Structure 1
Amino acid sequence: MVNQEPTGIVMMNLGGPRSLDDVEPFLRNLFLDREIIQLPLQERLGAFIAKRRAPKVRGLYEAIGGGSPLYDWTTRQGRGMVERLDVLCPETAPHRFYLAFRYTDPSSEQALRQMAADGVRRAVAFSQYPQYSCTTTGSSLNELWRTARRLGLAESFEWSVIDRWSAHPAFVRAMAAKVREGLGHFHESVRGDVVVLFSAHSLPRRVIDRGDPYLQEVAATVHDVMREIGGGHEYALSFQADVGPVAWQGPSTESVIRALGGQGRRHVLIVGIIFTSDHLDTLSEIDIEFAEVAEQAGVTDFHRAPAPNDDPVFLDALAEVVADHLRDGRGCSRQFTLRCAGCDNARCREILNPARAHRRTDPGTERQPALPAHRSTR
């Protein structure tokens, strides 16, 4: 029997400027977010850094067509996901998706207001970052809950959270398929000599040292994907997109490409292991900047594995992740309840008005009692 009330799937992501005029506001919102970067006099210094970087970043977006395609790709992914979910999970259908971007529109406020207008009661906060980090998934969840409280919608939805999904077999298969597709760009005679270079967005070292699980989850994804592929290719992990006056996780992707060239490696496949759709990090930094670095370093055969975008195999994976979550009876992953050792955010790992009970572990304290699941009055 089909549920008469829609199930809302909130797809949380960073967002990106859809036009050149949106670049500076996007950067300002990014550099004012203390959950990613902490600066002295953040309001002033963050705005100053954004203003200084805006002309250069505008030029980068101009080179890839004038704006980020992230909105379009996420919309296509959401549409394909809910079409599949209605078939996989008729008991929770119809399913509707809502975009909640952290630094651009559509915002959490827009998503929540539309959900309320659509009569959604059961809602899933679905992070579009497969690997968990407090700076991405954590920041997006905190913003979602803050906004719901501010709008007076704290009790309007029963929430559960898909906080990480990089180990889900369907995601691993989808990413492995993209790596195989990338390897297909190399002539068969040299394919066995290709170094597979996985590149992930970097994080400030301060965040990693605090106990953020991102680094270990990215490394685990790399391991799972290579095991799925088989074939014994050499591979490495590096990090890109470090900006701002803080120390970042390394090694940098640029330095690894130069080192590979210096070692006489001529065939390199780069894989954006955390990027589920094309945007500035793939279309500009990898396809343009790193391709130039590779050429300078003597890497004569340099290719990128395609991003999943709206590949049907990846859309299947998104739907399977949500379907498994809706059926498994848990409000979040088991790991979500464990806060970082250096966490100082009292609301971290919270689920607002949870549809299912969950516990949090607070550093230095006894484990909290289970937070009660909301009892529906339907």
Structure 2
Amino acid sequence: MEAPVVQSPTARVKAPGKTGVLLVNLGTPDSPSVPDVRKYLREFLMDGRVIDIPYIQRFFLINGIIAPFRAPKSAKVYKELWTETGSPLKYYGHVVERELQKELGSEYVVKLAMRYQNPSIKAGLDEFQQQGLTEIIVIPFFPQYASASTGSVYELVMDNVKNWQVIPAVRFINRFLEHPKFIEGFVRLGRKYMDAYDYDHIIFSYHGLPERQITKGDVTHSVCQFGSCCESFHAMNQHCYRAQCFETTRLLVRELGIPEGKYTTSFQSRLGRTPWIKPYTDDVIRELGAKGVQSVLAFSPSFVADCLETTIEIGVEYKELFEESGGKHWQLVESLNDSPLWIETLVDLVKTA
């Protein structure tokens, strides 16, 4: 007679229910029409973690100035971005949702959500609530943590579940910039272009943030100096968005074998007149042109899916600026989108959450 199997008291027993996986990207208008773009801008910019000024000031700034005047201009740009399948960000999101569901199997329920607009976080969580899930894993599609992105997702998720009578375990993925497969995904995309052309310079352009949001995150009031503090990545600056971006660049540079002096980390998409984290990508481009740099390969490692900030801002507008500054060849490295390595990254994040 065989001896009975004795389970270790520390072994984790699989609960009978399923696990919900909520994939959350920033969001996109429902269409490139002016009303839909205006609606998106209002929801996005009224988030107190995005524009962190008092509510009354924010309300009149967004609804009285930014949304009415910016919506028509932004709508024209969104029309350039739009394809037959709609917004690339949403299109790739749904592809990833389907592929990840296939890879994870029937023990998981995968849903795509957007922090702003549709499909909404509330809709995804409401569906999870009806299914008796054992736990929910939330994966914000932001490689580097920032209060205005990942933090905002955390806040809205918890606002939605806080009144549930039964709240399952909720686990958040804080960041994934160090994940080897995330890095390898961009490395493979970059090598495709680097093998075909000898670029004079490489730019790693990240979405910008106001400097005040970075200093707010420094609870010690002593680490963040906007200088040498980002030259290394350690316990005291690990939650700093700027430091995380520089660390992402270091990891990519190491794997790509880019020599010192041939690359720059910079920040794009600033809004308003207050200081944002530097250096600014447009300033870097002008400086490279003045130095006679003729060819640039541009990465955007704060985005996992092509969107307005990658395809249009980096791929079109910065290309034009580079050529106006004397450059000849500008190439954007596309985002991970629905690449197999991105799906593998997500599988690992779910399984180790």
After TM superposition, the score normalised by the length of structure 2 is 0.83
Question: For residue 99 of structure 2, what is the amino acid of its counterpart?
Answer: G
SS in 2 for 1:232: coil
Partner of 1:35: 49
Question: For residue 170 of structure 1, what is the amino acid of its counterpart?
Answer: K
Say if 2:30 and 2:118, in contact at 8 Å, map to a contact too: no
SS in 2 for 1:219: helix
SS in 1 for 2:263: strand
Matched, 1:197 2:197: no
Taking the aligned partners of 1:227 and 1:76, their CA distance within structure 2 comes to 30
User: What does residue range 260-339 of structure 1 map to in structure 2 within 5 Å?
Assistant: 260-325=288-353
Taking the aligned partners of 1:279 and 1:98, their CA distance within structure 2 comes to 20
Question: For residue 28 of structure 1, what is the amino acid of its counterpart?
Answer: R
SS in 1 for 2:336: coil
Say if 2:15 and 2:134, in contact at 8 Å, map to a contact too: no
Aligned residues: 312
Taking the aligned partners of 2:348 and 2:191, their CA distance within structure 1 comes to 22
Question: For residue 117 of structure 1, what is the amino acid of its counterpart?
Answer: Q
Partner of 1:51: 68
SS in 2 for 1:102: strand
User: What does residue range 112-151 of structure 1 map to in structure 2 within 5 Å?
Assistant: 112-149=125-162
More displaced, 265-274 or 239-248? 239-248
Residues 76-112 of structure 1 deviation map (CA, whole Å, 9 limit, x = unaligned)? 12222232233xxxxxx52221223111111121011
SS in 2 for 1:139: helix
* Structure 1 residue 198, shift from structure 2 partner: 0.3
Long gaps (5+) in structure 2: 1-12, 219-238
Partner of 1:340: none
Say if 1:198 and 1:237, in contact at 8 Å, map to a contact too: yes
* Structure 1 residue 4, shift from structure 2 partner: 5.1
Matched, 1:13 2:9: no
Match of 2:215 among 199, 209, 217: 209
Partner of 1:248: 276
Say if 1:200 and 1:239, in contact at 8 Å, map to a contact too: yes
Matched, 1:63 2:80: yes
Deviating beyond 6 angstroms after TM superposition, the runs of 4 or more aligned structure 1 residues are: none
Label 1:270 to 1:52 Cα distance change in 2 as closer, same or farther (>3 A).
Answer: same
Identity %: 29
SS in 2 for 1:167: coil
SS in 1 for 2:110: strand
User: What does residue range 223-262 of structure 1 map to in structure 2 within 5 Å?
Assistant: 223-232=250-259, 234-262=262-290
Question: For residue 61 of structure 2, what is the amino acid of its counterpart?
Answer: L
Say if 1:129 and 1:164, in contact at 8 Å, map to a contact too: yes
After TM superposition, the score normalised by the length of structure 1 is 0.78
Question: For residue 35 of structure 1, what is the amino acid of its counterpart?
Answer: R
Taking the aligned partners of 2:267 and 2:165, their CA distance within structure 1 comes to 37
* Structure 1 residue 231, shift from structure 2 partner: 4.8
SS in 2 for 1:166: coil
Partner of 1:94: 107
More displaced, 297-306 or 152-161? 152-161
SS in 2 for 1:123: strand
* Structure 1 residue 242, shift from structure 2 partner: 1.0
* Structure 1 residue 115, shift from structure 2 partner: 0.8
Taking the aligned partners of 2:214 and 2:14, their CA distance within structure 1 comes to 44
Residues 33-90 of structure 1 deviation map (CA, whole Å, 9 limit, x = unaligned)? 111113452222221211211011001001122763211111112222232233xxxx
Partner of 1:156: 167
* Structure 1 residue 157, shift from structure 2 partner: 2.0
Taking the aligned partners of 1:232 and 1:246, their CA distance within structure 2 comes to 34
Residues 335-357 of structure 1 deviation map (CA, whole Å, 9 limit, x = unaligned)? xxxxxxxxxxxxxxxxxxxxxxx
Label 1:111 to 1:245 Cα distance change in 2 as closer, same or farther (>3 A).
Answer: farther
Taking the aligned partners of 1:180 and 1:4, their CA distance within structure 2 comes to 44
